Each structure stands twice: as C-alpha cells, then as structure tokens.
C-alpha cells in the first residue's frame, strides 16, 4: 500500500517556541493532505486541508496563524505550530490518499509535548 511518512515521531519543546512537522507521501503524489489532532481518549479532529500550491483550508476554530501549513510540493506538507503552549500538547497526524474517494493512509503521527 501507499506509504505516508511523518517526522518527527515525538518532540518536546519549551513554551513559546515553534515546531515544524513534516508529512511526506513516499510512493505517490498527493495534491491534498489532511492534518488532524487527537487528544487522549478522543477521536481524530480535522484541523485543516493542505492543498498543493495554494492556501490551506482550516476548520472552524483552528487558528491559521498559529498552525501554519505549507504544501510546497506534491509529496510534502508541513505543519508548523507557532509559539507553542502546553495546551497545544497533542498527537498530530497527517493523511493522504492516492486518488480521490479512496482510502486514506496516515503518517505515524507526532506526539508534541510543550513544557
């Protein structure tokens, strides 16, 4: 199956710093990737849709200036958590599909802890 790679797997950062998370589709091109956040014992919540070559589409309640998304190529999307705070600590995960209306493949996820 398709492979989506996410990096880093985990990160601990100080409050106020920024963290960049990368999501790569390794064996297919993805014009669209999705970023999710998952808090403990809760389901995945869509944060934004990352579109190659254009601006991301953010879900209601997600601050676009805080969660910067860049989809510079057909195989790479990045999520930058700016000025991170402890409440941003969560499991961030990306997904991509090989083609529309087919199953999504997920990156391994990034566990962010802000101290």
Partner 1 sequence: RKEVEQDPGPFNVPEGATVAFNCTYSNSASQSFFWYRQDCRKEPKLLMSVYSSGNEDGRFTAQLNRASQYISLLIRDSKLSDSATYLCVVLNAGNMLTFGGGTRLMVKP
DSSP state of 83: S
Interface with partner 1 includes 103 (CB under 8 A)? yes
Q: Which residues pair with 89 in a beta bridge?
A: none
Give the strand pairing for 67-73 and 110-114. Answer: unpaired
Contacts for 63 with CB less than 8 Å, ≥ 6 apart: none
Interface with partner 1 includes 54 (CB under 8 A)? no
Angstrom distance (rounded) from CA 83 to CA 15: 7
Which of 14, 53, 61, 101 touches partner 1 by CB under 8 A? 101
Which of 35, 47, 109, 114 touches partner 1 by CB under 8 A? 109
Closest C-alpha among 6, 5, 2 to residue 92: 6
Convert residues 76-95 into a mask of x (bound to partner 1 by CB under 8 A) and - (unbound). Answer: ---------------x-x-x
Interface with partner 1 includes 44 (CB under 8 A)? yes
Interface with partner 1 includes 25 (CB under 8 A)? no
Interface with partner 1 includes 56 (CB under 8 A)? no
Contacts for 101 with CB less than 8 Å, ≥ 6 apart: none
Binding site for partner 1 (CB under 8 A): 1, 6, 32, 34, 42-44, 46, 49, 91, 93, 95, 97, 100-109, 111
């Amino acid at each position: 199956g398709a492979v989506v790679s996410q990096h880093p797997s985990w990160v601990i950062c100080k409050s106020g710093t920024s963290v960049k998370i990368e999501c790569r589709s390794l064996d297919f091109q993805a014009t669209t990737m999705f970023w999710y956040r998952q808090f403990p014992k809760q389901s995945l919540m869509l944060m934004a849709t990352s579109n190659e070559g254009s601006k991301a589409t953010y879900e209601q309640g997600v601050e676009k200036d805080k969660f910067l998304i860049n989809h510079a190529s057909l195989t790479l999307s990045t999520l930058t958590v700016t000025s991170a705070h402890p409440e941003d600590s969560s499991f961030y995960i990306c997904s991509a599909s090989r083609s529309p209306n087919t199953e999504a493949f997920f990156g391994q996820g990034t566990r962010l802890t802000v101290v």
